[in-house]
Amino acid sequence: MSTPQPHPNPTVLIAPHPLHALVLKLLAEDRGALPGAVGELAHAAFYATIDAVDPTLAGQMHDAQTRKAFSLSPLYGYRQSARDGRIYVDRGEEGWLRLTLLDPQIFMVFTRHLLSSFRPSIRLGNLRFAITEVLGSPGSHPWVDYTTLQALQQMNETQTQWALEFASPTAFHWGDADNGRRRVELFPAPKMTLAGLRTRWDRLTGENWGLDFEAWVERNVVVGRIWRWETQPVFYKKQTYTGGCGELEYRLLDDSHPAYAAHLNRLLHFAFYTGVGYKTTHGMGQVRLR
């Protein structure tokens, strides 16, 4: 059994590194139907928005081999058919879409697009939606907030229970089977959730919490309660993915290593901005602490 290591010396970030969670309030300008949770269409619309202002940045984002520096939610507020999964929109109906941005340059370009447009809008498939308001102030919406990596680095509180809402289908690519088939897990076991967050945190901050932290999580963090859980389909490029969503509790069994316990708490707050699992840029893996 590996011994937990002390907190690594945090990297001093030269300039504040902001993390934004925004909600775009939408007004449908057309009537029609959209497929599934619209993740693929929202993804394309966001890239088109960046490309309209800074084509070079859009190309860099598209070609990046690492995790993308944004996430998108499903489209909310419109009627989704239980029969065919399609979303039906009437002209004049209101809805919303959540966007998180982890890169200050992307935030600046997106903001420039909003400010330079007389009436900013996005197109999802063949349907146009006016962006009537962008909520970005903490407290303006349950899925909106703002922080910085530096502020999260300074969080040293510890606790033993965390209630989590996985609001959109969540799934993890967790290695491969012996025959090479992708192994996909639909339930967010603590180690899977925290492994991805740990990797992303280390990449952004320059810290190195390492595999010892993940091994500690596997030994000491469990799912303590499940209030509800179900699987839902997500449609992407004529394929159907499946993810789990609902509410559950993570529980810390051994709190005798405060540095790791504090980092666990830090990463679960970080997840609000990054999402968890795969395809977070297509509406999957939206999560928040309750």
My answer on whether 42 and 123 are in the same domain is yes
My answer on whether 63 and 28 are in the same domain is yes
Q: Which residues contact 270 (CB under 8 A, 6 or more apart)?
A: 19, 152, 197, 200, 201
DSSP 8-state symbol, 76: B
Q: Which domain holds residue 119?
A: 19-135
* pLDDT given at position 7: 56
My answer on whether 105 and 189 are in the same domain is no
* pLDDT given at position 160: 96
* pLDDT given at position 229: 96
My answer on whether 241 and 181 are in the same domain is yes
* pLDDT given at position 241: 83
Contact between 91 and 28 (Cβ < 8 Å): yes
Domain count, the chain: 2
The domain that contains 66 carries what CATH number? 3.30.70.1890
* Closest listed residue to residue 125, CA positions, set 89, 77, 168: 89
Contact between 219 and 194 (Cβ < 8 Å): no
Which parts of the chain register pLDDT below 70? Answer: 1-15, 37, 64-67, 236-237
Residue 6 lies in a domain: no
The domain that contains 175 carries what CATH number? 3.30.70.1900
Residue 9 lies in a domain: no
* pLDDT given at position 154: 94
* pLDDT given at position 177: 85
Model pTM?
A: 0.92
Helix ranges (H only) for the chain are 39-53, 55-63, 104-116, 149-153, 190-205, 210-220, 258-274
Residue 3 lies in a domain: no
Residue 108 lies in a domain: yes
Contact between 6 and 261 (Cβ < 8 Å): no
Last residue of a domain, one of 109, 135, 161: 135
* pLDDT given at position 12: 55
Contact between 106 and 113 (Cβ < 8 Å): no
Can you give the length of the chain in residues? 290
* pLDDT given at position 9: 53
My answer on whether 283 and 154 are in the same domain is yes
* Closest listed residue to residue 103, CA positions, set 42, 172, 54: 54
Q: Sign of the CA dihedral 202, 208, 212, 213?
A: negative
* pLDDT given at position 4: 53
Residue 142 lies in a domain: no
Coil, helix or strand at residue 42:
helix
* Residues 229, 231, 235, 239, Cα dihedral to 10°: 150
My answer on whether 116 and 182 are in the same domain is no
My answer on whether 226 and 196 are in the same domain is yes
Task: Tell me the angle at which helices 104-116 and 55-63 cross, rounded to the nearest 10 degrees.
Answer: 140
My answer on whether 61 and 191 are in the same domain is no
My answer on whether 190 and 61 are in the same domain is no
Residue that is written with structure tokens 């962008």 in the block? 134
Last residue of a domain, one of 103, 135, 167: 135
Last residue of a domain, one of 107, 135, 163: 135
My answer on whether 200 and 115 are in the same domain is no
Contact between 134 and 23 (Cβ < 8 Å): yes
Six-digit token pair at 209? Answer: 């919490």
My answer on whether 110 and 158 are in the same domain is no
* pLDDT given at position 223: 97
My answer on whether 41 and 171 are in the same domain is no
Coil, helix or strand at residue 124:
strand
